[in-house]
Amino acid sequence: MTRQAAQAVARRERPVLVYDGDCGFCTSSVRFIERYVPVRADIVAFQYADLGELGTTVERAEHEVLWVDRAGRVSGGAEAVGRLLTAAGGPWRALGVVIRVAPVSWAAHAAYRLVARNRHRLPGGTAACAVQPPVPPRGRPGGG
């Protein structure tokens, strides 16, 4: 992380939720959060975020929702959702804590991956929502 990025992280007053703004399902989910979950965070589509400053990459942001806390720690997927809910407080806090504790966290991770792989089939989803499978490195079986 560059010195400038480290200073920006140190100045962050609120956590940041990063989502895929090109995905209708993701955008609908964020609108639900904005309406019903009293989260005190900045919410930004990764396409408009300075991902380097946030300590992450386009590849990761395309793969999962991200939660960047005030200290700059990046969580993804079900862990990010759990941290968002925990930060919201009230009854959401309890749900967020439960989601992040094993064995519920294992089920939450599996459910998140299932939804992420099929988000283009869910309400609000479009073909643009489809998550591409990772490309195997060159020189390995199946990698070309």
Residue spans of the domains in the chain: they are 3-129
Nearest residue to 84 via CA among 5, 21, 18: 18
Q: What are the CB-based long-range contacts (under 8 Å, 24+) for 116-120?
A: 116/63, 116/64, 116/77, 119/23, 119/25, 119/26, 120/23, 120/25
The larger pLDDT score, comparing residue 61 to residue 141, is at: 61
Query: 39-50 pLDDT, tens per residue?
Result: 889 999 999 999
> Given a cut of 70, is residue 31 above it in pLDDT?
yes
Query: 67-109 pLDDT, tens per residue?
Result: 999 999 999 999 999 999 999 999 999 999 999 999 999 999 9
- DSSP lists the bridge partners of residue 135 as none
Nearest residue to 120 via CA among 29, 27, 28, 23: 23
Diameter of the chain measured on Cα atoms: 51
> Given a cut of 50, is residue 7 above it in pLDDT?
no
